[in-house]
Structure 1
Amino acid sequence: MSFDLLHPLRRWIDRFEIHDPSVARLICEKIPSQCPFERDITLWGHRILHIPPLCKLNPLYEQVVSLRFRALCYLADECGEDVTSYC
């Protein structure tokens, strides 16, 4: 039997409801739409090293991505805002 120390935090993020456009905008601004760590290292035009996306190593990755998606949906559906600037 394993014990998940992050379960309360996961549950809190999953249950977090967005009712304020400024909170939704803040979430969309602070959580990147793509993993910022994936890189290709090139030397003289040739790729010599590929660093894979390390975001998926984050134990809360799925919850954070889901939170960002819910914030985008709130802004688009409830507030009628154009969310293309966050994509």
Structure 2
Amino acid sequence: MKTILNKMRLWLDSFEVRDRKIAYFLCKLIPSQCPFERDIKLFGHTLCHLPPLCKLNPLYEQLVGLRLQALCYLAGEYKHITTINDLAHT
């Protein structure tokens, strides 16, 4: 199992974003923050807080790095784009 994870890590680390559509897809696919983190509230009072679980993912660092690489590619190619929402208007 570890060798499969290591191979996946190496592949993700060596992946180069060179296409606008792929970069845009990666930015949409990989969330900027953990979608599981949230506060559970009842009548306006916080009952509990669910911490981010993404760091439990063994490929977390590689996925965050890949998303950053895609954002940097888009910012370099399309200098006026500052957020993913701006991409929808190009």
Verify same fold: TM over 0.5.
Answer: yes
Corresponding residue number in structure 1 for 2:26: 27
Runs of 4+ aligned structure 1 residues displaced above 2 Å come to 78-81
- What is the distance in 2 between the residues matched to 1:9 and 1:82? 30
Task: Note the residue ranges of structure 2 that are not aligned, 5 or more in a row.
Answer: 86-90
Corresponding residue number in structure 2 for 1:43: 42
Residue identity over aligned pairs, in percent, reads 56
Corresponding residue number in structure 2 for 1:77: 76
Q: Contact (CA 8 Å) 1:41, 1:50: kept in 2 or not?
A: yes
- What is the distance in 1 between the residues matched to 2:25 and 2:74? 11
Q: Normalization by structure 2: what TM-score?
A: 0.85
Q: Contact (CA 8 Å) 2:36, 2:52: kept in 1 or not?
A: yes
- Cα shift at 1:81: 5.0
- Cα shift at 1:43: 1.1
Corresponding residue number in structure 1 for 2:56: 57
Q: Contact (CA 8 Å) 1:75, 1:81: kept in 2 or not?
A: no
Calculate the aligned-residue CA RMSD, in Å.
Answer: 1.5
What amino acid sits opposite 1:68 in the alignment? R
Task: Note the residue ranges of structure 1 that are not aligned, 5 or more in a row.
Answer: none
- What is the distance in 1 between the residues matched to 2:36 and 2:82? 23
The secondary structure found in structure 2 opposite 1:35 is coil
